[in-house]
Amino acid sequence: MGLFGGSYPTSPVSKAGTLHALGTKDAKTYDYIIVGGGTAGCCLASRLSEDPNVSVLLLERGPLHDAFIARVPLISSDHANSATPIVKTDCTPLAHAQQKTLQIAQGEALGGGSSVNAMLYTRGATGDFDRWAELGFPSWDYKSMEPYVLKSENTLTHKAPWHGASGPFVNQKTYLPFKSHENVLKAAASMGYVDVADFNSPSTPVDVCAVLDTAIDTGSHRVSAFTAYLPANLATARRSRLTICPRALASRIELANGVAAGVVFESSNGSVAGQFYARCRKEVIVACGAIASPQLLLLSGIGPREHVESHNIDCVVDLAGVGSELQDHVGVPIMYEVPLADSLQHMAVSVWRARPSNRKFHPAHKLKLSFGCAF
């Protein structure tokens, strides 16, 4: 089903590939196989399938997440809701957090993290891009990457040369529905943090206070890589060359003479028995996120030999570093008491209080379900 009840063209695992037990010689073949239908995977599937002469298979472990509530900004960001498609992974004990083990949340649906995150539209610091260039990747410096950022963006707020206004990914500046938001800005200013109007300006330093842009469209719906790059009308029009397969868990990449030849996958929820195989003519693109991507490589025999073989997997490519050196930022929530009327809790207390906020989803009405995080 699609948004508001329409149909969305997806393929079951049994039709996306051929039973692996039957061999790989006559397997279903695609030009490109993308493993992971998250932020990168959806964009790649859309861009590659623009060519009518290629075939693309997109495999996603999670479901098609396009029910109405998936587009309501506040509800779709609720990680405590069991209906929100996320998977949590425990990290190793942290030396600087009293050896505590924290959880890393990842989106598990078409759109990946962009379908369940806080919708904050923030770019990396220009210095980070430039440091990647210094490490040996010159085309990753900020000036080289900026044209692609502008191509993807459609800002509804900012009019500046460092913003795009015609791309598929819509964003706008967060509006502040609560009085306490203003107090946060005042508190930050009292501590010496500069309040900037555009956090995504390439000249903005990292140590500032700012009301951030959020991926919310003109109708006050969440924008994700899935809704931006693979809307139902596009997926339907390209169905002959773009196969979108949710609930498909890739178990390994098969290599032939050191080159990716295809992907072995299975049903992620057990709805179909057996393993399936799809062959690729050109490329297998691994886009499973920071945790699942190295995991898939390791399961395919690509990684440090000692570690791979310790799990009874044949090491095909001895490659140091795979599966290590993960870095992530931390979020530190600040809790404070506010009047009940100046909070979301009033909607939980009474369904009648929730009705005004639930009736429409448009910032102009200052409705409290149509915003995301602010700072």
Q: Chain-centre distance of CA 228, in angstroms?
A: 12
For residue 348, the model assigns a pLDDT of 58
Q: Percent of the chain, pLDDT > 70? A: 90
CATH code of domain 1-119+221-332: 3.50.50.60
For residue 30, the model assigns a pLDDT of 98
Bridge partners (DSSP) listed for residue 260: 255
Contact in structure between 58 and 98 (CB atoms under 8 Å): no
- CA 345 – CA 359 distance, rounded (Å): 17
| Full 3-state SS string of 174-235 | CCCCCHHHHHHHHHHHHCCCCEECCCCCCCCCCCCEECCEECECCCCCECCHHHHHCCHHHH
Q: What is the pLDDT of residues 201-252, one digit of tens each?
A: 999 998 899 889 999 999 889 999 999 999 999 999 999 999 999 999 999 9
Query: Which residue bears the tokens 């310790």?
Result: 310
Give kind and range of the element (H or E) at residue 105: strand 103-107
CA distances from 133 to 126, 150, 202, 325, 327 (A): 11, 20, 16, 19, 19
Q: What is the pLDDT of residues 330-359, one digit of tens each?
A: 777 888 888 887 777 766 555 445 444 444
Bridge partners (DSSP) listed for residue 29: 279
- CA 55 – CA 34 distance, rounded (Å): 11
Residue spans per domain, the chain: 1-119+221-332
- φ/ψ of residue 364, rounded to 5: -60, -25
* Mean pLDDT of the region 171-181: 82
For residue 240, the model assigns a pLDDT of 97
Query: Kind of pairing, strands 248-256 and 86-90?
Result: unpaired
* pLDDT of 366 strictly over 90: no
